[in-house]
């Protein structure tokens, strides 16, 4: 079983009211609970960022780490992510174990 990073990009801006914030957080909580034991690291949202180097500038809004049997299985787990309903995307990356 491999580990996969869900990199969240975009989505709606910060909720304007406490009620909106509760609704958004409830959606995230429900989705993350649905991942069960596959959720290795709930992750965190990101704050301000900068890009160093040439190329396209795009920002991540947060991450999580899950386990899955394949890249396709990990992508299937990302399907219900609330960031998708908010207009964002989830990039799914397989991690590579490196011994040092």
Q: Pick the closest to residue 64 from 48, 51, 47, 77 (CA basis).
A: 77
In angstroms, the CA 57 to CA 36 distance is 34
Is residue 69 domain-resident? yes
The tens place of each residue's pLDDT in the chain, 100 residues long, gives: 899 999 998 876 677 889 988 998 899 999 999 999 999 999 988 877 777 766 665 678 899 999 999 999 999 999 999 999 888 899 999 999 888 8
Is residue 83 domain-resident? yes
Q: How many domains does the chain have?
A: 1
Distances (CA, A) of 62 to 3, 10, 86, 92, 100: 17, 9, 14, 12, 27
Is residue 53 domain-resident? no
Is residue 35 domain-resident? yes
Q: 77 is in which domain, residue-wise?
A: 2-47+59-94
CATH number at residue 66: 3.30.70.1060
């Amino acid at each position: 079983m491999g580990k996969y990073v869900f990199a969240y990009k975009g989505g709606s801006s910060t909720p304007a009211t406490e009620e909106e914030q509760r609704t958004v957080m409830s959606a995230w909580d429900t989705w993350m609970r649905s991942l069960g034991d596959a959720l290795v690291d709930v992750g965190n949202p990101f704050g301000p960022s900068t890009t160093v180097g040439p190329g396209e500038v795009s920002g991540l809004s947060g991450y999580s780490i899950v386990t899955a049997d394949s890249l396709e299985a990990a992508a299937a787990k990302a399907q219900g992510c609330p960031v998708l309903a908010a207009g964002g995307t989830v990039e799914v990356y397989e991690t590579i174990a490196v011994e040092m």
